[in-house]
Chain A
Amino acid sequence: MPRKIMGRCFAFAMILLSVSLPVFANDGVDARINEAVKPFADAVAGFIFSSFPLGGVQIPFVLVWLIFAATLFTLYFRFINIRAFKHGFQLVRGDYNDPMSAGEVTHFQALATALSGTVGLGNIAGVAVAVSLGGPGATFWMILAGLLGMSSKFVECTLGVKYRNEYTDGTVSGGPMYYLSKGLAERSPALKTLGKVLAVLFAVFCVGGSFGGGNMFQANQSFMQLVSVTGGEASWLADKGWLFGIVIAVLVGLVVIGGIQGIARVTSKIVPLMAVIYVSAGLVIIFMNLAEVPAALTAIVSGAFSAQGISGGVIGVLFQGFKRAAFSNEAGIGSAAIAHSAVKTNRPVTEGFVALYEPFIDTVVVCTITALVIIITGTWNPSVDPSQGVALTSAAFESSISWFPWVLTVAVVLFAFSTMISWSYYGLKAWTYLFGESMITDAVYKLLFLFFIVVGSSMQLGSVIDFSDAMIFAMAFPNILGIYFLLPVVRKELDDYWADYKAGNLRKFGKAANRD
């Protein structure tokens, strides 16, 4: 029966889209959508990124908030990002997977699912923006932010598993909504209301983030790349963002409304492959230009501390690096905690160790490769229009591998698609936390999500990026504030587990057991 209802909702969505088609038929539709949404997007961004001046640059408070938290977590958990790095790998490799739980969600699977939501455009377009605005030095701060972000992910994902809901029908659901409300209430009755408020705020921003960075930004950037690879301004597609949006919306709709999991499943298998191709191509270019690598590394390090010609000087460089790292790996944002909480484990902290690998792979490895390619090929240039995003990375790869922009286009569209699928899930979880679970609330969210895909691909990058950033970063306020109250909980979980680990009380299975 539910299938039938879903089918109807889907039909309804399609009708909605086709009815809106005549509106799109006029010339300059994209411009009109842009005009309508821009003031709102700008206002939201302006509010979230309220900033204070420091060293001649406006520093958004939210960035300080994120970096301060990541640094504090790193210190409070005594460099857990380094300390648990090896053990996290053992967990991902499956050394501790009990064969009796075979068939449940493994650490690897939880990590892979979370990664497919973060590895994507942030690594390709975001890095290009950071390097063009902040110079090579931005890379240094990006890597540092990635390393610190590992500690934030550790805390979030541990809490995500600890306070997840396990329903009688055997499904699980977790994330900041649950640890903020349940966790704070458990700490003290006095915190109950605060926990509830933070959870609701988080859920509201998460829904916003799922429309912004998890959706419009993705649609927008993949469309831009498609236009640039098919001939730029002269491309037939150039003013048909809405058309691209509708096509993507239909595909996403088939998955999230039509329940055609096959498409999602195929994507979830192709995306890791595309990531491998992307990273390999990056490494090939780096090896082809091995002689330039030392100079690039020097530029990264020296540029980090002496910023010539960069607006805002060193602070400006730092700001660009941190900002793009945070946007790419989402550490402290809380989204990953939703994806990680489905894992099968009775020690929540294990998922925290595994989650360390997310910012590491996403930022320290993938973003650095992108940055190196851009710097080595000399494609970065302070005068380049920052709104070029993907196009800049594309040009960097093209200068060494002429046909690569085509591959990159496929990768970008697929990354965008899988990120949208992930974020539609995060957003829906937050949405149902707010409005309860029912066919109607589900359908309303999903239709809105599809609508924003069309909006996103029709808007100009500037407002899209600002709005996307704003909504995603807003999630960090309630999330991190709540986490501060829950730090002792994580500390206890960690200390108990670490003692068992050091004492050799944890059982390994299979080949891993024989290795010792």
Chain B
Amino acid sequence: MSKVLLVGVDCSNCSNRAFEYAADRAEMSKAQLIVVHVIDWSPFSFNTPQENEERHRRREDELQRAHKEIIDPMVDDLREKGVFARGVIRHGHPAETLNEVAKEFGATNIIIGKTGSSRIKSQLFGSVANTLVQISKIPVTVVP
């Protein structure tokens, strides 16, 4: 079984850098690369009845858009380079979900970008990178 790396991507520039970094690593070490995009979502939110009614459809739309605009181009790009790649899209808390997916695929390293938010903002609301570093049982590489 070859090595499995996991990269978390959204559509910001920093995660593009993380993606390139992860792609290089995977290419060099002949590792499998799981490209993960998490759509921020909480099972404990308060919604209007209208939102609930349309939730299922919205979810499909969100998944489709994430595939088309984010994950599929990245996975195609990797496959062209000869990297064994796989795309995963999930709803959930970004850091926790990345951690879950990493466990699920037996990843040995999680690579993510910094969100680039200010210090005060990340102090107040936490950041995906900070949380992930705290909860992950495997090394986390944060690409600036």
Contacts and interface: CB of A to CB of B under 8 A. Distances in A.
Interface of A: 94, 97, 99, 102-106, 108-110, 112-113, 116-117, 169-173, 261, 264-265, 268-269, 271-272, 338-339, 342-344, 421-422, 425-426
Contact of A102 (B50, B52, B92): B92
Given A103-B41, A103-B91, A421-B48, 19 more contacts: A97-B43, A99-B90, A99-B100, A102-B43, A102-B90, A102-B91, A103-B55, A103-B63, A104-B56, A109-B44, A112-B46, A116-B46, A171-B54, A172-B53, A264-B48, A265-B48, A265-B51, A272-B46, A422-B49
Contacts of A339: 49, 52
9 contacts: A97-B43, A99-B90, A103-B62, A112-B47, A113-B48, A261-B50, A264-B48, A344-B56, A421-B49
A171 B57 CA distance: 6
A357 to B, nearest CB: 14
B118 interface: no
A126 B90 CA distance: 44
B46 A269 contact: yes
Interface residues of B, number: 26
Contacts of B80: none
A116 B91 CA distance: 25
Contacts of B48: 113, 261, 264-265, 268, 421-422, 425
A108 B44 CA distance: 6
Contact of B55 (A261, A342, A426): A342
B39 interface: yes
Contacts, number: 94
Question: Which of A103, A109, A117, A264 has the largest number of chain B CB atoms within 10 A?
Answer: A103
The 10 closest A-B pairs by CB, nearest first: A103-B91, A170-B57, A342-B52, A102-B91, A106-B43, A103-B59, A425-B49, A264-B48, A268-B46, A170-B56
Given A103-B39, A103-B59, A103-B91, A425 B46 contact: no
Interface of chain A, main secondary structure:
helix
A117 to B, nearest CB: 8
Interface string B100-132: 100000000000000000000000000000000
A360 B35 CA distance: 44
B10 to A, nearest CB: 16
Contacts of B54: 170-171
A225 to B, nearest CB: 23
Contacts of A342: 49, 52-53, 55
Contacts of A264: 48, 50
A488 B50 CA distance: 31
A117 B50 CA distance: 13
A109 B49 contact: no
Interface in B84-101: 90-92, 97, 100
